[in-house]
Amino acid sequence: MGAARPSGAGTRRTRQRNHTLWFWTFVGPFVAGLTLFTYVPLAWSVYLSFFDAHNTVSPTEFTGLGNYTAMLGDGAFRSSLVTFAVFTAFIVPTTYVLALGLALAVNRLRAGRAFFRSVFFLPAACSYVVAAMIWKLSVFNGVRFGLANTVLGWFGAEPVAWLSATDPPWYWLVIVTVRLWLQTGFYMLLFLAGLQRVPVRLYEAAALDGARPGWQTFRHITFPALRATSVAVVLLLVVNAFQAFDEFYNLLSGTRGYPPYARPPLVYLYYTALGQGQDLGLGSAGAVILALVILVVTVVQARWTGLGRTEE
């Protein structure tokens, strides 16, 4: 008698075990790294925020909500949140308009579309630190032979100390332009993907109804069709603005005289936790507060814009 063949149910169970084994073979290292280097530090930061921890990551004395009360009562921390609001109020709509405009222009090209798409996206691959140093040491270095002052000299203007703490605060222009240069190309690609999903039949039907190409088509066809993409882009821009650190720190580090509102929350928390005082408990409390603010803003914005809502 021949060997008994496995039943259909046994074969399915064997295949399922093999699929599970291969799944964890590929995903397991990523999950382990994510847990070890992300979730564990996050949990420890929340735990540390309830303790007094100076110059150490080991909690010493339980303070309860004392760190949270001290952080919320700190005027410099509240000013850093105002910095975020000002930075977000300008960088989000400006990036949105520039990215959408570039996407519309590139999408209309019949030749060279891939070339211009790559050129505009290339800055997104650049490090924020490297870009900030280029802006600081070459473009807006404040000396007469800097790129920005050279261009101003062509029109007879005097050199500007771009990164000084005097009035007017020209350093905001430096910070905003470097962020625009770095991220506009990335969001342009998102809009390009959205534009390519707009059905051509909508434009054909609009043309039959007498709609003229240009503003009318964009207002009544293109822009409404990009609603889901627009919501995602705005949400990513707001969250990314909360995480502003590299450009502020690298452009303004080593200088004195800047008012508190020249520091966003992450820079303030960096100096709190790793500065002269090294109050890691207080810094952890500020990080938790900032994470909660991001969570609330994200949820409110998602509910207000209808993110994930199925359109009928």
Mapped onto helix, strand or coil, the DSSP state of residue 163 is: coil
**In terms of pLDDT, which residue wins out, 72 or 255?**
72
Is 56 a member of any domain?
no
Question: What CA–CA distance (Å, rounded) separates 254 from 188?
Answer: 34
**In terms of pLDDT, which residue wins out, 187 or 267?**
187
**Is residue 6 predicted with pLDDT exceeding 70?**
no
Tell me the mean pLDDT in the region 25-38.
86
pLDDT class of 170 with cuts at 50, 70, 90: confident
Specify the pLDDT at position 271: 81
**In terms of pLDDT, which residue wins out, 31 or 5?**
31
Is 292 a member of any domain?
yes
**Is residue 10 predicted with pLDDT exceeding 80?**
no
CATH number at residue 78: 1.10.3720.10
Is 297 a member of any domain?
yes
Specify the pLDDT at position 93: 92
Which tens digits make up the pLDDT trace of 183-228? 999 999 999 988 888 887 877 777 777 767 777 788 878 888 888 8
Is 13 a member of any domain?
no
Q: What is the phi-psi region of residue 144: left when phi exceeds 0, alpha when psi lies from -120 to 50, beta otherwise?
A: alpha
pLDDT class of 261 with cuts at 50, 70, 90: low
What average pLDDT does the structure give for the chain? 82
The answer to whether 50 touches 43, Cβ cutoff 8 Å, is: no
Choice among 41-50, 100-109, 247-256, 285-294 with the minimum mean pLDDT: 247-256
Is 42 a member of any domain?
no
Question: What CA–CA distance (Å, rounded) separates 268 from 149?
Answer: 31
Question: What CA–CA distance (Å, rounded) separates 74 from 78?
Answer: 7
pLDDT class of 1 with cuts at 50, 70, 90: very low
Question: What CA–CA distance (Å, rounded) separates 176 from 179?
Answer: 5
Q: CA torsion, points 127, 263, 289, 71, in degrees to nearest 10?
A: 150
Q: Which two tokens stand for residue 29?
A: 């290292």
The alpha-helical segments, DSSP class H, found in the chain are 8-34, 40-48, 66-72, 75-107, 113-121, 128-134, 147-154, 171-196, 200-208, 215-217, 223-225, 227-242, 246-252, 265-274, 280-305
Q: Look at the chain and report how many structural domains it folds into.
A: 1
Q: Which two tokens stand for residue 137?
A: 């040491």
**Is residue 111 predicted with pLDDT exceeding 90?**
no
Tell me the mean pLDDT in the region 223-250.
86
**Is residue 4 predicted with pLDDT exceeding 60?**
no
Is 288 a member of any domain?
yes
Range(s) of the domain holding residue 169: 66-305
Specify the pLDDT at position 96: 94
The answer to whether 123 touches 131, Cβ cutoff 8 Å, is: yes
**Does pTM top 0.85 for this prediction?**
no
Mapped onto helix, strand or coil, the DSSP state of residue 265 is: helix
**Is residue 254 predicted with pLDDT exceeding 60?**
no
Is 21 a member of any domain?
no
Please report, as a single letter, which amino acid is at residue 176.
V
**In terms of pLDDT, which residue wins out, 160 or 184?**
184
Q: What percent of the chain has pLDDT over 90?
A: 10
Is 236 a member of any domain?
yes
Number of alpha carbons in the 13 Å side-chain half-sphere of residue 92: 19
Q: What percent of the chain has pLDDT over 70?
A: 89
Specify the pLDDT at position 312: 44
Cα 219–Cα 224–Cα 228 angle in degrees, nearest 5: 145
